[in-house]
């Protein structure tokens, strides 16, 4: 008797829901709304093994609804007290579409280069897949094509290992590959750069979390060979002190 009643109730609920939606004057259960966020995932000061102090930023801002969003991303660095302008690694304006509960597709345009008045900026189109891979790895994979037709792929992967309710250990890997040669921007084809880092972060609040960390950065393949011919170091290590901030 109980099983039959449960079966009837289960079958009745969808019917009642459909009947409720048949009334046009009834309000929707959840109305669509728009919101946004500005997140500085990395806002830090780096001390390199060459005894240079480098200010680094890595941020993302977005505004929109559940499925459609306007996204802005920016990364860059500035070597302190050397008289040179900041290096803008990327500044991108993107349209984002939520493809699944854990992945979004993004497409738009970007620019990068030295932030000086006489600099020639590199403009490019970009498509990205950003989201959570299995086992909760956060990934941002981007394919960029500039005005010269040069193609580059960048993959960023992070994982947050929760130590306590407010502290995290976060490994981070960034891999860059040049799919074509670029004479204008002096880039060799092949795997170009690998950066590996580890940060310990403690949340003072959900919006403010200072961290300390270390990193290793190395050139790869043809890029490393080119740097060796020019007498440049192909690897770099350092310590970082910064904060993760969002609002």
pLDDT in tens, 125-151: 999 999 999 999 999 999 999 999 999
Q: CATH code for 38-246? A: 2.40.160.40
Lowest mean pLDDT among 28-32, 45-49, 159-163: 28-32
- For the stretch 173-184, pLDDT in tens is 999 999 999 989
pLDDT digits (tens, 9 = 90+) for 69-126: 999 999 999 999 888 899 999 999 999 999 999 999 999 999 999 998 777 899 999 9
- Write the pLDDT tens digit of every residue in 1-14: 434 333 334 444 44
What is the model's pTM?
A: 0.85
Longest dimension (CA), the chain: 85
Question: In whole angstroms, how far apart are CA 65 and each of 51, 95, 98, 211?
Answer: 45, 12, 10, 31
pLDDT of residue 18: 47
What local confidence, expressed as pLDDT, does residue 116 receive?
87
| Mean pLDDT score of the chain | 90
Q: Is the pLDDT of residue 58 over 70?
A: yes
Note the pLDDT of residue 175: 98
The pLDDT score that the predictor gives to residue 15 is: 43
Q: What angle do CA 138, 140, 125 make, to 5 degrees?
A: 170
pLDDT single digits (tens) 195-227: 999 999 999 999 999 999 999 999 999 999 999
Q: 153-192: string of b/e by CB count within 10 Å (b at 16+)?
A: ebebebbeeeeeeeebebebebbbbbeeebeeeebbbebb
């Amino acid at each position: 008797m109980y099983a039959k009643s449960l079966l009837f109730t289960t079958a009745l609920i969808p019917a009642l829901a459909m009947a409720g939606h048949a009334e046009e004057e009834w309000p929707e259960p959840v109305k669509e709304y728009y919101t946004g966020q500005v997140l500085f995932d990395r806002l830090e000061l780096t001390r390199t093994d060459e005894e240079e102090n480098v200010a680094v930023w890595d941020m993302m801002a977005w505004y929109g609804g559940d499925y459609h969003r306007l996204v802005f991303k920016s990364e860059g660095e500035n070597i302190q007290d050397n008289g040179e302008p900041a290096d803008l690694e990327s500044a991108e304006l993107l349209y984002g579409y939520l493809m699944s509960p854990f992945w979004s597709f993004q497409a738009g345009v970007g620019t990068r280069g030295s932030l000086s008045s006489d600099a020639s900026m590199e403009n490019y189109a970009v498509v990205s897949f950003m989201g959570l891979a299995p086992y909760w790895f956060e990934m941002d994979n981007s394919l960029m094509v500039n005005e010269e037709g040069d193609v580059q792929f960048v993959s960023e992967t992070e994982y947050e290992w929760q130590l306590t309710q407010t502290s995290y250990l976060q490994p981070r890997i960034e891999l860059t590959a040049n799919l074509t040669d670029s004479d204008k921007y002096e880039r060799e084809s092949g795997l170009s750069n690998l950066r590996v880092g580890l940060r310990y972060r403690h949340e003072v609040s959900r919006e403010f979390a200072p961290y300390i960390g270390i990193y290793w950065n190395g050139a790869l393949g043809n890029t490393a060979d080119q740097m060796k011919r020019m007498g440049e170091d192909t690897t770099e290590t350092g310590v970082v002190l910064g904060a993760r901030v969002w609002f």
